[in-house]
Amino acid sequence: MKFHKDMLLLYAVTDRKWTGRQTLYEQIEDALKGGATMIQLREKDLPESRLVAEAEKIKELCHSYHVPLIINDNVKAALLSGADGVHVGKEDMAVSDIRKIVPEDFIIGATAKTTEQAKKAEQGGADYLGVGAVFPSPTKQDAIRITRDQLKEICSAVSVPAVAIGGITRQNIEELAGGKMAGAAVVSGIFSAQDIQKETALLKKKIQEVLNL
Ligand SMILES: Cc1ncc(COP(=O)(O)OP(=O)(O)O)c(N)n1
Ligand SMILES: Cc1ncsc1CCOP(=O)(O)O
């Protein structure tokens, strides 16, 4: 699927920790029904063969909503499953190396916590940046925090679009107004909700207000 910056508006990133009453597949379907514009499968503990099998099923689901599926960290699993792209951080394969081995429309997202990292990712061929953590994150408690000024600075330093990440909820998203990002990437703010579909829809409405869309 060809990347467009509108896909970043409400980027739902999974966390199996919140499953129980529902499967991950059902939770993702609810997020899609609520209007999530991009999905990232973030699985830190699944063996690669299971990751690929899960990703294949979830890709079909996402595509039935015309939403791209991105795989966290694992380029091989993303390619094998036919997912739309990969999101990498500084411990993962370099963006420029990924770009050399993937099909033309393959989406590459990269984490940037500084303007230097943002420029390097852009030069390497990243389609978008994930910038954060903008608030304390229940999902990644050791994530380095960045200020709102740093968020603005990073977004302004590059021409690729960026998505803010880290502890974003419907209650605090307003604090990011003027941040120059194209959207928000959210884990617990979506997947810990009792009603994921409703929360996703409310959060999306709020983001549109904050970004003046
Ligand atoms: C959209 C988005 N932005 C940032 C991240 C963080 O990625 P990374 O730095 O690789 O950390 P982990 O997700 O691997 O813990 C992300 N996943 N998504
Ligand atoms: C992967 C990642 N990178 C920075 S914060 C974070 C986790 C975001 O999860 P939450 O939305 O629950 O804070």
| CATH number, domain containing residue 146 | 3.20.20.70
pLDDT mean over 3-20: 97
**pLDDT tens-digit series, residues 49-70:** 999 999 999 999 999 999 999 9
Confidence of residue 179 (pLDDT cuts 50, 70, 90): confident
Query: Would you say 87 and 107 are in contact if contact means Cβ atoms under 8 Å apart?
Result: no
Q: Which residues are annotated as a binding site?
A: 40-44, 72-73, 92, 111, 137-140, 167, 187-188
Q: Full-prediction pTM beyond 0.80?
A: yes
Question: CA 179 to CA 139: how far, in whole Å?
Answer: 22
Question: CA 7 to CA 212: how far, in whole Å?
Answer: 16
Arithmetic mean of pLDDT over the chain: 97
**pLDDT tens-digit series, residues 77-124:** 999 999 999 999 999 999 999 999 999 999 999 999 999 999 999 999
Q: Is the CB of 170 under 6 A from ligand 1?
A: no
Q: In which region does residue 191 sit, left (phi positive, over 0), alpha (psi from -120 to 50) or beta (all else)?
A: alpha
The residue segments making up the domain with residue 164 are: 5-210
Residue ranges around ligand 2 (CB below 6 Å): 132-133, 137-140, 143, 165-168, 186-189
Number of domains in the chain: 1
Question: CA 47 to CA 154: how far, in whole Å?
Answer: 34
